[in-house]
Structure 1
């Protein structure tokens, strides 16, 4: 299973993410040519090898009208209407780029998350949020580049470390704000973050939005066999190497343990069995099912089988005894080979679709939620086959 792990010990910004992803490729000049061919107005992509604390890595040089932009201004949204673009204008610009549809839809969703965060922080309707003109092109460059490079890499699984956000304050268009900036803090709700002694904005809103959108989960370094490591260098110098690292490798296949509880029952009604199944699920069972069996005295009976994790086992045992007529439960410990799973909602022209991806052991299964497909079919007068074919373009 191709796994990409993003290590954010010095935070994350759009240019650092782009640089680390670019550093994973052997032929960087060809990839830079592809990025420049996307056609972001006024923007040119360049890169250089640079050194931080004795470590060599890649630093991005994204220029707007020939000038390199600052990372802090490029990431913040504000409300001055003199030199701004609205979110619809940004979406139209992205849709007009020379990039795959998946890249454009991902970039738009990342931009929408930025606008939503700023909207909530400043109490401004999302349609009234405007983006600084110079910062707009800089931020679009970062966001589109990351979306494009991840599209090229096509990892099965993207994991992200806990994020170092820095400390102190940051200067932006609104004034002097605490670190993490309010929009960054909003985007990173529910994500493991930490501060430290470095007084600087280590994680920008753009970096936070990209990580939040693409990460399958936020965890410490997984057990994996690494193949490549990319270094994306920041602009500033600190006592600690200011770099973001990305690892690509094969994560080890997963196994887990589950308990199988079963019992034979021949003196309970079908109605009571139906109620018992619901109660056992509510107690924490993973699976509950019935098998018809022949019991003593030629009586037809039911074999009740329940799969449960160790944490819920006691409550499930109590539920079986409380809701069935059995007087004994058998227990087996089962080792399971399991595929890793993740569920994500994707945006498509036909509507939102919940998608489950299962992967591992050399295989990947991607399945759209059937109820979503049915709803889209009814709403658009399309056959299920045509709906599946259209949705498949965005999986």
Structure 2
């Protein structure tokens, strides 16, 4: 029987047996399959290995368990500190929210402008209690407070008779010299508002007054929300970025007390949904509920996307005779608003005076 010897793989360090005649030759490790060359140990190397194997191992002191206990005892204090920090932070945030709710905010949200539109920033200025204008309206008089009642947007008090909500600024009309303040006016009463004047103050980014956008609305039906397009004429290059409702008043001077009521139905924007053209046409059916024919009319329209967001506005004149208790179709063109954004329209028509 051939003599065998023990060998160790230099790669995986595992031991295996091989024949004595395989020393100083390359063999394959049966464990990791690596080809290694096995050489016999010399007497000096063998003695060194035996000396290391028989040498006494060093001893190390065992760490005391008392510092560990102290560290564990300190952990609850650390947790308590973290909890206190969290509570203080939450309390500070709560105080900030409370101050924000009580005192309100100076500026409103900025919405990205679309096309030629410029969305401004609303802020309250010289605010007047809504009850002042409401009480005057209930008495059939002009508001006792100059300028009427400044109503914050989207806030309706139970005693409020009229709600004015300015939502956007649209610029760039008529050779860059007209800016529209666009929104809605709601008649919360059970009677017609025969005439109403809305004034919107316009300001630059530093809150410097620039001018006023004005709109006159005639014959707002009870419980009805009418589109508001107040216009401001200015020089080229002038841009308003903020607005504040300056006031409203009923029965303004210069407006006749009785004018025919015109009802608008079936408003519809005519546009190519695949076209990027910035102009189009709005048609609507107008019924004259007055006792006399109407020929010259003022028309305003608000262009809305499929989510009801204001995308554009138009204000113009239409000449077409409408006899009492009859209906006619009218149309008006819009500009500076891509047809792909327009899904619907709100139209308001009233007789000229």
Higher strand share: 2
TM-score, with length taken from structure 2: 0.23
Give 1 or 2 for the bigger CA radius of gyration: 2
TM-score, with length taken from structure 1: 0.21
Q: Using CA pairs under 8 Å that are at least 6 residues apart, name the structure with larger relative contact order, 1 or 2.
A: 1
